[in-house]
């Protein structure tokens, strides 16, 4: 594992997230402290219901903690205005959701371009970058097909391409290899690893797939809303 900077990119301080009230309340995250440095590949593992996705949503500002604080680059994210939060998500964060979130009537290329368009990237540049990213994920022959005609695994790779196209500082991915075969999974993970090493991108990834640990700097294991183990792994050669 490489030595990282001393200033965290993301820092969680005694973060809790509770859904509901009283006897029916669910404690999804229970007082988690977590530090993620720029240029790290972090994996969150644990059984279903352990709090992995909730924790990822808190890091990405998609949810707010019931208690505790989440910092990005030293700033408390609860201090972000609505405009600042939207700008941050569009320009600095790439999300890969379990449900993909693609528009089925658009082509693979148009889906990847859309995020760049929203971020204000000029047409020629966004088309070139979208095509390049799809090519890097083995979809060079599928760029002009509507995503409704693609397999689940291909759709997942389009979603990953969309998340990476604007070259975010932070990538948050929820089960990004869940629909992929072993070879495609390894290709995606190797690409993420290269971006972490070469571009100082930071990746935080939720998974059940033990293969992912080979590519990670640190794996955190969650159970019942708590981090119960930290495992620093040997990074795979890519």
Going from N- to C-terminal start, the domains of the chain cover: 38-53+80-232
Whether 75 contacts 10, CB under 8 Å: no
pLDDT digits (tens, 9 = 90+) for 130-157: 999 999 999 999 999 999 999 999 999 9
pTM (2 d.p.)? 0.89
pLDDT digits (tens, 9 = 90+) for 60-101: 999 999 999 999 999 999 999 999 999 999 899 999 988 888
**178 pLDDT band (50/70/90 cuts)?**
confident
Instruction: Please tell me the CATH superfamily of domain 38-53+80-232, with its number.
Output: P-loop containing nucleotide triphosphate hydrolases (3.40.50.300)
Whether 158 contacts 111, CB under 8 Å: yes
What the block records as the tokens of 116 is: 């760049």
Mapping DSSP to helix (H, G, I), strand (E, B) and coil, where does residue 173 land? strand
Distance of CA 24 to the CA centre of its chain: 30
Look at residue 10 and tell me whether its pLDDT is greater than 50. Answer: yes
- Secondary structure (DSSP) of 35-55: EEETT-EEEEE-STTSSHHHH
Chain-wide mean pLDDT for the chain? 91
Task: Give the neighbor-by-neighbor strand order of the sheet with 41-45.
Answer: 93-96, 170-174, 202-206, 41-45, 218-223, 226-232
Q: Of 13, 5, 11, 14, which is closest to residue 73 (Cα–Cα)? A: 11
Look at residue 127 and tell me whether its pLDDT is greater than 80. Answer: yes
Q: State residue 236's pLDDT score.
A: 44
Q: State residue 118's pLDDT score.
A: 85
Distance between CA atoms of residues 194 and 135, nearest Å: 15
């Amino acid at each position: 594992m490489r030595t990282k900077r001393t200033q965290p990119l993301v820092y969680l301080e005694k973060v809790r997230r509770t859904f509901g009230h009283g006897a029916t309340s669910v404690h999804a995250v229970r007082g988690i402290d977590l530090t993620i440095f720029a240029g790290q590949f972090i994996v969150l593992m644990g059984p279903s219901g352990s709090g992995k996705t909730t924790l990822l949503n808190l890091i990405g500002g998609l949810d707010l903690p019931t208690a505790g604080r989440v910092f990005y680059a030293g700033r408390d994210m609860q201090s972000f205005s609505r405009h600042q939060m939207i700008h941050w998500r569009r320009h600095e964060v790439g999300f890969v959701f379990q449900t993909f979130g693609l528009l089925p009537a658009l082509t693979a290329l148009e889906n990847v371009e859309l995020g760049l368009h929203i971020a204000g990237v000029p047409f020629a540049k966004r088309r070139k970058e979208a095509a390049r990213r799809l090519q890097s994920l083995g979809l060079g022959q599928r760029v002009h097909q509507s995503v409704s005609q693609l397999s689940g695994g291909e759709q997942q790779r389009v979603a990953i391409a969309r998340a990476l196209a604007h070259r975010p500082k932070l990538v948050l991915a929820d089960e990004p290899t869940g629909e992929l075969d072993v070879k495609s999974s390894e290709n995606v993970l190797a690409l993420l690893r290269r971006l972490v090493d070469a571009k100082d991108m930071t990746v935080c990834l939720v998974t059940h797939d033990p293969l992912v640990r080979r590519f990670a700097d640190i794996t955190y294991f969650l159970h019942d809303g708590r981090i119960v183990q930290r495992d620093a792994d040997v990074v795979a050669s890519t």
